[in-house]
Amino acid sequence: MKERSNVVALNPDACATPVVDAARVSSVRQAMPGEETVQNLAQVFALLADPGRLRMMAALLEGGEMCVCDLAAATGQSMSAASHALRLLRMHHVVKVRRSGRMAYYRLADSHVRMLFDLAITHMRHEEDGGGDG
């Protein structure tokens, strides 16, 4: 028994029982996304962990549909780096492409992607302005 109290003392977040509110745990587990969805989300968030790709998204959020050369110029990337970033973003359904002759024009895939990215930027600006609660 003394050993258990040491564990709690070392980890103040440790629970004395494995489940406190079984009904809530069951409800939450049923509402959680499936494993495939979680894996896909992890891939998208890993994809977005790259500053160059985030710049691409910021440019598309601000500029709407843009060609690769304009995106490269706006983000300070080479054409090759911009094309590679856009290819990865397109593969994960973050951006869409429209072709017109030899030109490719990219835009954020849909309103969900725009909203997610816009909220993330708003959150970071809020934190930078000292608006965090922690």
Amino acid code (one letter) for 1: M
Amino acid code (one letter) for 68: V
pLDDT bin (cut points 50, 70, 90) of residue 9 is: low
CATH of domain 49-128: 1.10.10.10
**Per-residue pLDDT tens for 107-122?**
999 898 889 888 988 9
| pTM score of the predicted model | 0.72
Amino acid code (one letter) for 55: R
Q: What is the rounded average pLDDT of the residues 2-17?
A: 62
Q: Is the model's pLDDT at 4 over the cut of 70? A: no
**Per-residue pLDDT tens for 41-69?**
899 889 889 999 999 999 999 999 999 99
Rg (Cα) of the chain, in Å, rounded? 22
**DSSP strand E in 19-94: where?**
66-67
Task: Read off the tokens for 46.
Answer: 């890993």
Closest C-alpha to 108, from 76, 65, 49? 65
Largest Cα separation within the chain, whole Å, is 75
Element (H, E) at 69: helix 68-75
Every domain of the chain and the residues it spans: 49-128
Task: Read off the tokens for 21.
Answer: 């509110």
Residue written as token pair 């983000």? 75
Mean pLDDT is lowest, of 15-19, 34-38, 89-93, for 15-19
Q: Is the model's pLDDT at 7 over the cut of 50? A: no
Q: Exposed, middle or buried, 13 (CB in 10 Å: 0-12/13-18/19+)?
A: exposed
Q: What pLDDT does 26 receive? A: 92
7: CB partners within 8 A, 6+ apart: 14
pLDDT bin (cut points 50, 70, 90) of residue 89 is: very high
